[in-house]
Amino acid sequence: MNDSTKTVSIVVPFFNEGENVQRFREALLPLLDNVPGIAFEIVCVDDGSSDNTLERLVATVRQDSRFRVIELSRNFGKEAALTAGIDHARGDAVIPMDADLQDPPELIPDMIAAWRKGAEVVLARRSDRRADPVLKQRTAAWFYRIHNRLSNLKLPENVGDFRLMDRVVVDALKSLTEQQRFMKGLFAWVGFKTVTLDYQRRARAGGGSKFSGWKLWNFALEGITSFTTLPLKIWTYIGLIGALASGAYAAYIVMRTLVVGIDVPGYASLLVAVLFIGSLQLISIGVLGEYIGRIYMETKRRPTYIVRHRFDRDEES
């Protein structure tokens, strides 16, 4: 296929980003106009916003035919919104990115240049995250370290959703049908020929992050449990070590009783042992419950998202 016929889809989830819609448009469009031989479409997914995000996106569609808006029936979460955008993208390549402009649109021409040279996936890696809070930087580093040690699937560190994917990669991604979706893991799982570009992460153009500490914690659990069963195996080994330690201690008690007789022990050590073992059991049940809960949700086979309306310059449905 000739470069002049290629289309690149930019997929952008929006959730209560009304104040960023115009900023995003003004930052993105001048760059796209200067990329020769490429037609663009911008697929904006409104993930059940409660502010004026949808109204501003629809107004943008009326101003520029390259914009398309997918309105979801409620807030399904970023992973579902990202999935919806990728499902509806028509381009020969797809670039997911955030609406807050922390992902610099200036990197898009370099991504396309790498794609034209044969790369099927072009990753954008955050070489400098000073714009993020220190706690977020630390927890992100811990997550990547823990995930990559537990899982056979290695996530590239400091790489978010911002990347370019060839249509063959997108089609492979769309064939993955699980409802509990951890997109960074799915992106890495499909593989393909990959190159990496570095960039400096910016501060948000406006508004605040929609991810609280609690949501980030649950997101991390989702990522770890989606691609490894090692936490389940760990508790098997903990149980085995506990059983061996208990057997050794029981043998010690028997030998001590035979040698020095029986004394009257206190209850402190017994209480500590009971509480310790009980806590381990509760933690292990919790880990098991995380996996069972995901199995339960998968068996329901509910759709990842529901589209309420589509807005397009040529056709509205």
241 band by pLDDT with thresholds 50, 70 and 90: confident
Q: Are residues 224 and 237 in the same domain?
A: no
Q: Are residues 144 and 284 in the same domain?
A: no
Q: Specify the number of domains making up the chain.
A: 2
Region 109-125 average pLDDT: 88
If you ran DSSP here, which 8-state letter would residue 105 be given? G
Q: What is the pLDDT of residue 156?
A: 75
136 in a structural domain: yes
238 band by pLDDT with thresholds 50, 70 and 90: confident
177 in a structural domain: yes
d(C-alpha 137, C-alpha 126), whole Å? 11
**Residue 56: which residues within 8 A CB-CB, separation 6 or more?**
18, 21, 22
Q: Are residues 95 and 153 in the same domain?
A: yes
Is residue 218 predicted with pLDDT exceeding 80? Answer: no
1 in a structural domain: no
Is residue 1 predicted with pLDDT exceeding 50? Answer: no
Q: Are residues 131 and 202 in the same domain?
A: yes
Q: What pTM did the predictor assign? A: 0.70
Q: Per-residue pLDDT tens for 33-60?
A: 888 888 889 999 998 888 888 888 988 8
- The percentage of the chain sitting over the pLDDT mark of 70, rounded to a whole number, equals 75
Q: Per-residue pLDDT tens for 189-198?
A: 888 888 888 8
Region 94-119 average pLDDT: 88
Q: What is the pLDDT of residue 209?
A: 56
Q: What is the pLDDT of residue 103?
A: 82
Q: What is the pLDDT of residue 186?
A: 85
Q: Are residues 235 and 219 in the same domain?
A: no
Burial state string for 63-72 with b = 16 or more CB within 10 A and e = fewer than 16: eeebbbbbbb
Residue 54 sits in a domain whose CATH number is 3.90.550.10
Beta strand ranges found along 61-133 (DSSP E):
67-72, 93-96, 121-128
Q: Are residues 203 and 271 in the same domain?
A: no
Highest mean pLDDT among 22-26, 92-96, 267-271: 92-96
Phi, psi (rounded to 5 degrees) for 9: -100, 130
d(C-alpha 167, C-alpha 89), whole Å? 10
Q: What is the pLDDT of residue 95?
A: 92
Handedness of CA 239, 245, 248, 249 (dihedral sign): negative
Is residue 139 predicted with pLDDT exceeding 70? Answer: no
Q: Are residues 250 and 296 in the same domain?
A: yes
118 in a structural domain: yes
Q: Are residues 90 and 177 in the same domain?
A: yes
172 in a structural domain: yes
- The percentage of the chain sitting over the pLDDT mark of 90, rounded to a whole number, equals 8
First-residue to last-residue Cα distance in the chain = 31
Q: Are residues 219 and 261 in the same domain?
A: no
Region 175-192 average pLDDT: 82
Q: Are residues 222 and 291 in the same domain?
A: no
Q: Per-residue pLDDT tens for 66-105?
A: 899 999 999 888 888 989 999 899 889 999 988 888 888 8
More confident residue, 278 or 63: 63
Q: Per-residue pLDDT tens for 7-19?
A: 899 999 998 888 8
Is residue 210 predicted with pLDDT exceeding 60? Answer: no
Region 226-240 average pLDDT: 72
317 in a structural domain: no
Structural domain that includes position 156: 7-228+304-312
Q: Are residues 135 and 234 in the same domain?
A: no
2 in a structural domain: no
d(C-alpha 86, C-alpha 163), whole Å? 12
Residue-averaged pLDDT of the chain = 78
Please count the CA atoms within 13 angstroms of the CA of 316 that sit on its side-chain side: 9
